[in-house]
Amino acid sequence: MAISTSTPPDDAPGTAAPDGTGTASERRSSLLHRLDVRGAPYAFVAPFFVVFAAFSFYPLVYTSWISLHRVELSTLNVMEWVGFDNYTALWDDDRFWNALLNTFTIGVLSTVPQLMMALGLAHLLNYQLRGSTFFRVAALTPYATSVGAAALVFTMLFERDFGMINWMLSLVGIDNIDFENNKWAAQTAISTIVIWRWTGYNALLYLAAMQAIPRDRYEAAAIDGASRWQQFLKVTVPGIRSTIVFTIVLSTIGATQLFGEPLIFGQGPNGITGGADNQYQTLGLLLYEEGWKNYQMGRAATVAWAMFLLLIVLFVVQRVVKRVLARKA
C-alpha cells in the first residue's frame, strides 16, 4: 500500500504556520493574553484618572484661564482679557496681605498646640491601657463631626454675653471677652475649633507610627539606664520623624484652606464674614468674598491660584526638610 506524502494545508486546524506564529486561534488567544496582562492595570486605574480629570484637573486649568480675565457674575456671558492685571492688583491689595497674615497666625495658633497635644496623646495610647480601643475611637470622634456642627457649638461657647467660656472666666474675676470682635481672641477661638477637630486624627497617625518602632530599641535604652522621658526623646521622636513632618505639612495645608470655621464663627445677622475689620479673614474667606459677594470671579480665581502656588511652596519646603532629616538620620 502506498503511503501518502501530501501535507495538510497551512490553514488546517491545529497546524502551526510556516513562520512559527501559530494558528489564528492561538494568535487571538495570545493577543488577548497580552492585552489582559498589559492593559488590565491601566483599566483598573482609569476610573480614578477620569474622575480626577473631570473634577480636579479641568477645574484647575479653567480656573487659571479665568484668573486672566475679568469675569463678573452680575454681567452674563462677559469675559474680558486682562492678562496678569488680577495678579498685580492682588499683590497691591491690602486685604490679601491681611488675609495671608491671618491665615498664618491662625495656622500657627492651631497647628503647634494641636501637634504637641496629639504627640502626647499618642504616647499615652501607646501603652497597654485598659479600654484603649474606646479611647482611640473617642479621639477620632471629633474628626468625624461636621465642620458646621462643631463651629456652631463653639460659637455658642465663645458668645460674649451668654457663652460658657465667659461664664467660667467670670468665676475668676475676668470680664467678658468679645471673642468675635477682638482680633486675637477671635483667632484663638477659631484655632480652638481646629485643635478640637484634628488633634485626635493626628494622634492616631502618631500612634500607628509608634507601634511600628521595634520594641528592642526601648529595651536597649532601658538597659542603658534611659528613663521614660529619655526614651521618648531619643527613641520615639526619631522613630516617627517622617510622620511628624507629614502631619506638619498636612496641618499647614489645612490651615491654608481654612474656611468653614471662620465663616460660621463670624457669620452675623448682616452677613459679615471675617470680622467687621477683617481681623480673622482667611484666604478662603477672601476667595468667597470676591466670588460670591463682589461677583468678581476673575479675582476669586486669582486668590485660588495664589493659594495653590503657596501650597506648592510648602510642598517644596517639605521635600527639602525631609531630605535634610534623612541625611541626619
Show the cell assigned to 103: 491665615
Confidence of residue 135 (pLDDT cuts 50, 70, 90): confident
Q: How does DSSP classify residue 55?
A: I
DSSP string, 164-215: HHHHHHHHTTPPP--TTTSHHHHHHHHHHHHHHHHHHHHHHHHHHHHHTS-H
Which residues are paired to 277 by β-bridges? none
Helices (H), strands (E): how many in the chain? 15, 2
Show the cell assigned to 11: 490553514
| pLDDT computed for residue 28 by the predictor | 66
The reported pTM is: 0.79
Q: Which residue has the cell 502506498?
A: 2
Q: Looking at residues 262-275, what average pLDDT do you find?
A: 68
Question: Which CATH superfamily groups domain 94-328?
Answer: MetI-like (1.10.3720.10)
pLDDT over threshold 70, residue 265: yes
φ/ψ of 275, rounded to 5, equals 90, 155
| pLDDT computed for residue 22 by the predictor | 57
Cα of first residue to Cα of last residue in the chain, in angstroms, is: 87
- Annotated domain spans of the chain: 25-66, 94-328
The amino acid at 80: E
Confidence of residue 2 (pLDDT cuts 50, 70, 90): very low
| pLDDT computed for residue 88 by the predictor | 93
Show the cell assigned to 278: 477683617
The chain-wide mean pLDDT, for the chain, equals 83
Show the cell assigned to 105: 497666625
DSSP string, 55-88: IIIHHHHHHHHHTTEEEBTTSTT-EEE-TTHHHH
Show the cell assigned to 316: 517644596
**Of 207, 310, 306, 305, whose CA–CA distance to 252 is shortest?**
310
Q: Which residue has the cell 497647628?
A: 111
**207-255 pLDDT tens trace:** 999 988 888 888 888 888 888 888 888 889 888 988 998 898 889 888 8
Supply angle C-alpha 125, 130, 135, rounded to 5.
50
Q: Looking at residues 103-114, what average pLDDT do you find?
A: 93
φ/ψ of 99, rounded to 5, equals -65, -40
CA distance 118 to 112: 10
Q: Looking at residues 152-157, what average pLDDT do you find?
A: 91
Confidence of residue 26 (pLDDT cuts 50, 70, 90): low
Show the cell assigned to 140: 477620632
The amino acid at 68: L
